[in-house]
A and B are shown apart, each in its own frame.
Chain A
Amino acid sequence: DAGVIQSPRHEVTEMGQEVTLRCKPISGHNSLFWYRQTMMRGLELLIYFNNNVPIDDSGMPEDRFSAKMPNASFSTLKIQPSEPRDSAVYFCASSPGGPSYEQYFGPGTRLTVT
């Protein structure tokens, strides 16, 4: 199994630009999670999908952030417009049975907004 795939691995963009992060979960997993990690705040859950439906987006910081999961094998996290404080590593994870089951994380996307 290829594991969770994320792209791009690194993204550098200017403030105000739109950023789209992509994730392909492990085949057969029915839950997908987006996390953000910074030195100041640690690892934070942004949003959780179950069977392609957003279940909990209470961690999404503000309206500039949006996430979609059009099918079981693809999800996007979009930031529009981006700000320097959005600079972080964004992880996608998938799980075979829900958030309290073992989660398998991707390698992350390091986002830098200048």
Chain B
Amino acid sequence: DAKTTQPPSMDCAEGRAANLPCNHSTISGNEYVYWYRQIHSQGPQYIIHGLKNNETNEMASLIITEDRKSSTLILPHATLRDTAVYYCIVRVRNAGNMLTFGGGTRLMVKP
């Protein structure tokens, strides 16, 4: 499985876009990029996933570079409630493959 690298922490001003980077230079062609987050004292929350194309949902946008070696999760208008640890995970999308949560990026949204 491809290894991911994320900065340990980031700050963002409330109302501004939060751009969270993830490097996955050894990603293989059939591996998806998943993003989850964990707000303090809550269970992890699925955010978004993608393979090649950029993806957008009600929570965030996922931008994957053309070579797929890195991606960026974008929270367009960060709020204080977006303060959380964000996990980037690369996995093949099949029934036998486990998700493993690494260290993630601790995002602090400040007023």
Smallest beta-carbon distance A91→chain B, Å: 5
- Contact residues on A (Cβ < 8 Å of other chain), bracket: 20 to 34
Interface of B is mostly: loop
Q: Mark B18-44, 1 if CB is under 8 A from A, else 0.
A: 000000000000001010101000111
Contact A91 B103 (CB under 8 A): no
Query: Please, what's the 1-or-0 string for B94-106, where 1 marks a CB less than 8 Å from any CB in chain A?
Result: 1111111111000
Q: Supply 15 A–B pairs (Cβ within 8 Å), ascending by A.
A: A43-B44, A45-B98, A93-B44, A98-B97, A99-B96, A99-B97, A100-B32, A100-B34, A100-B92, A100-B94, A100-B99, A102-B34, A103-B36, A103-B44, A106-B43
Q: B53: CB under 8 A from chain A?
A: no
The answer to whether A98 touches B45 (Cβ under 8 A) is: no
Q: Are B46 and A102 in contact (CB under 8 A)?
A: yes
In the assembled complex, how far is the CB of residue B2 from the closest CB belonging to chain A, in whole angstroms?
A: 13
Given contacts A43-B44, A91-B43, A93-B43, contact A103 B95 (CB under 8 A): no
CB neighbours of A70 from chain B (8 A): none
Q: Are A108 and B98 in contact (CB under 8 A)?
A: no
Which residue numbers of A lie inside 8 Å of B, CB to CB?
A: 4, 31, 42-43, 45, 48, 50, 55-56, 91, 93, 97-108
Q: Which residues of B sit under 8 angstroms from A106, Cβ to Cβ?
A: 43
| A107 proximity list for chain B (CB < 8 A) | 42-43
Given the complex, which residues of B lie within 8 Å of A42, measured CB to CB? 101-103
